[in-house]
């Protein structure tokens, strides 16, 4: 009996293809070849990676995942339905209609992500392509509060949503729900994409204008208590708290462009990167918790997003190019900064809160705290926008403003007065400091 592998793939998908291949080879008694992408199929592999990646197993970020991720028991998130709904970006031109973009009208063009039938390696180009699609089309979290922002271009802009003729409105999509309704949802690109210096939308660049807190407060029917409302107002543009139920621990939207170089994930170094699977697991569980733990993404989507994010590094300037702009600055950097921002990743081991001296709120958090802050990779820092984990410094220049640790400093974002911590470089001679700034602004 001959088996037509192509027919089986069309009819039964990956499971059938695997079976067909096995049967066609006559069921060799040899051990099967190692799975090139164990994240997709091997729960014990995923569990081991998760356990190895958690820096503080005692914080609630960790305990939640230890209780539900690849456990093999009745509480395993693997038992959640896989979710890949039909979705479509909201087009910019829709904002020009009377009443703005309709939040519940889904066109015939809406479709689920097309998933590859198989993945041959973690570097499979199909993975990166899938990730690029998912970055701007997979609904990561329902966002009914943004319906108000769809009333017009000015309404969208007032909440910091970018508007692009090609990519649409702030990375928002409409998605078909299982009950037949249509919901507005965020995608990764809502927070993690923004116009670059030349106006084109740069994937991975944080949207430091996005004001989700204000959108939630302004949503029809919003009825938050006064304390929570005040906390959300304090987020301001470019920041949000995705961890607590009180909104009191906002962090700036991180720059995802240098993720390839990161050895720790999240501002408070919650996760150590064991291998690229760590990021895929982080993305997978983020989507699960962002959807209230009721659905999970196709695992190949999470892997694709991780592969795509790793590919964004190619667009960043090289340190060599930055050194050509400012040779003196490169020399100062090598002498003063590489203790923490070591080449080639321009990052390093997390730094204890007491040493870095910046606002410790996030680092002490019961949700994600580790007692340390991640050392950000400086790849891309020149175009990153607000700096520090809480986004309180507007630029590289402000970071090295010798007045910023004094009460008279007027450049602080999300507050006023001094910005404490990371005092490295503040006492450099003026010439060296200027050269260092020039070098970093070229990265």
Partner 1 sequence: MRASVRHVVGMAVLALAAGHCSGSTNRSGPGSSTDGAPNANALEDSGLCEGTAVGDGAVPVPAEHRPAATTCPLTQPLPTSADGGAFTCDSAADCAGDATPAYEGLSCLNHQCADDECLSDSDCGAGTVCLCSADAGGGDVRHLNACVPAACAVDSDCGPNEYCSPNRTYCGEVTGYYCHGVHDTCVDPTTDCACLSGEGKACIYAPQVGYWVCGQSVCLG
Q: How far is CA 330 from the centre of its chain?
A: 29
Contact present, 120 and 296 (Cβ < 8 Å): no
Build a one-symbol-per-residue string for 313-352: x at contacts with partner 1 by CB under 8 A, - elsewhere: ----------------------------------------
Sites for partner 1 among residues 230-249 (CB under 8 A): 232, 241, 245-247
Q: Tell me how far apart the alpha carbons of residues 288 and 323 are, in angstroms, rounded to a whole number.
A: 42
96 contacts partner 1 (rule: CB under 8 A): no
216 contacts partner 1 (rule: CB under 8 A): yes
251 contacts partner 1 (rule: CB under 8 A): no
Q: How far is CA 9 from the centre of its chain?
A: 33
Stretch that binds partner 1, among 10-18, 269-277, 376-384, 414-422 (CB under 8 A): 10-18
Sites for partner 1 among residues 178-197 (CB under 8 A): 178-181, 183
Q: Which is nearer to partner 1, 175 or 378 (CB)?
A: 175
Contact present, 206 and 253 (Cβ < 8 Å): yes
The total number of residues shown for the chain amounts to: 443
Minimum Å distance from CB 217 to partner 1? 8
Stretch that binds partner 1, among 165-173, 176-184, 271-279, 370-378 (CB under 8 A): 176-184
Q: Tell me how far apart the alpha carbons of residues 98 and 218 are, in angstroms, rounded to a whole number.
A: 21
141 contacts partner 1 (rule: CB under 8 A): yes
78 contacts partner 1 (rule: CB under 8 A): yes
- Residue of the chain from 24, 91, 129, 144 that contacts partner 1 (CB under 8 A): 144
23 contacts partner 1 (rule: CB under 8 A): yes
Count the residues of the shown chain that bind partner 1, applying the rule CB under 8 A. 76
54 contacts partner 1 (rule: CB under 8 A): no
Stretch that binds partner 1, among 15-23, 46-54, 154-162, 345-353 (CB under 8 A): 15-23
Q: Which is nearer to partner 1, 37 or 330 (CB)?
A: 37
Minimum Å distance from CB 280 to partner 1? 14
Stretch that binds partner 1, among 60-68, 318-326, 385-393, 411-419 (CB under 8 A): 60-68
β-partners of residue 383 are none
| DSSP-based three-state secondary structure for 42 | coil
186's enclosing H/E stretch is strand 182-186
Q: Which is nearer to partner 1, 44 or 181 (CB)?
A: 181
Q: Tell me how far apart the alpha carbons of residues 147 and 144 are, in angstroms, rounded to a whole number.
A: 6
3-state secondary structure 371-417: CEECCCCCCCHHHCCCECCCCCECCHHHHCCCCCCCCCCCCCCCCCC
Instruction: Give, in order, the Cα–Cα distances in Å from 104 to each of 181, 189, 212, 386, 439.
Output: 7, 20, 20, 35, 48
361 contacts partner 1 (rule: CB under 8 A): no
Q: Tell me how far apart the alpha carbons of residues 427 and 435 are, in angstroms, rounded to a whole number.
A: 14
171 contacts partner 1 (rule: CB under 8 A): no
Build a one-symbol-per-residue string for 278-297: x at contacts with partner 1 by CB under 8 A, - elsewhere: -----------x-xxxxxx-
Q: How far is CA 29 from the centre of its chain?
A: 44
4 contacts partner 1 (rule: CB under 8 A): no
Q: Tell me how far apart the alpha carbons of residues 184 and 204 are, in angstroms, rounded to a whole number.
A: 21
- Residue of the chain from 34, 99, 221, 429 that contacts partner 1 (CB under 8 A): 221
* Burial annotation 180-218 (CB, 10 A radius, 16+ → b, else e): eebbbbbbbbbbbbbeeeeeebbbbbbbbbbbbbbbbbb
Minimum Å distance from CB 93 to partner 1? 23
């Amino acid at each position: 009996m001959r088996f037509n592998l192509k027919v089986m793939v069309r009819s039964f998908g990956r499971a059938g293809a695997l079976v067909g291949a096995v049967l066609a080879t006559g069921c060799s008694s040899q051990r099967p070849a190692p799975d090139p992408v164990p994240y997709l199929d091997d729960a014990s592999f995923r569990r081991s990676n998760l356990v190895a990646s958690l820096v503080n197993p005692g914080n609630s970020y960790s305990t939640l995942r230890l209780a539900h991720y690849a456990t093999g028991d009745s509480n395993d998130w693997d038992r959640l339905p896989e979710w890949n709904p039909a979705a479509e970006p909201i087009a910019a031109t829709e904002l020009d209609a009377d009443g703005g973009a309709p939040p519940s009208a889904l066109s015939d063009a809406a479709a689920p992500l097309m998933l590859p039938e198989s993945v041959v390696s973690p570097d499979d180009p199909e993975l990166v392509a899938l990730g690029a699609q998912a970055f701007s089309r997979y609904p990561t979290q329902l966002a009914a509060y943004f319906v108000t922002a769809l009333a017009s271009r000015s309404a969208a802009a007032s909440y910091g949503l970018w508007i692009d003729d090609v990519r649409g409105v702030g990375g928002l999509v409409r998605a078909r729900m299982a009950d037949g309704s249509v919901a507005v949802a965020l995608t990764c690109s809502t927070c993690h994409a923004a116009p670059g210096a030349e106006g084109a939308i740069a994937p991975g660049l944080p949207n430091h204008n996005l004001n989700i807190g204000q959108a939630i407060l302004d949503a029809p029917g919003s009825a938050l208590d006064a304390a929570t409302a005040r906390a959300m107002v304090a987020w301001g543009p470019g920041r949000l708290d995705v961890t607590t139920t009180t909104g009191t621990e906002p962090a700036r939207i991180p720059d995802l462009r240098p993720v390839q170089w990161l050895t720790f994930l999240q501002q408070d170094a919650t996760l150590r990167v064991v291998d690229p699977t760590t990021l895929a697991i982080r993305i997978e569980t983020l989507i699960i918790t962002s959807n209230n733990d009721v659905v999970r993404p196709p695992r190949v989507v999470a892997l694709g997003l991780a592969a795509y994010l790793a590919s964004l590094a190619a667009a960043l300037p090289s340190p060599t190019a930055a050194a050509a702009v400012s040779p003196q600055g490169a020399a100062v950097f090598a002498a003063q900064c590489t203790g923490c921002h070591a080449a080639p990743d321009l990052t390093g081991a997390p730094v204890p809160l007491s040493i870095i001296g910046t606002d410790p709120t996030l680092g002490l958090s019961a949700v994600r705290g580790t007692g340390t802050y991640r050392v950000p990779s400086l790849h891309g820092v020149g175009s990153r926008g607000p700096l520090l984990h809480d986004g309180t410094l507007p630029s590289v220049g402000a970071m090295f403003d010798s007045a910023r640790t004094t009460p008279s400093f007027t450049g602080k974002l999300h507050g006023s007065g001094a910005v404490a911590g990371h005092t490295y470089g503040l006492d450099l001679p003026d010439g060296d400091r200027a050269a260092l700034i020039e070098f970093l602004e070229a990265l």
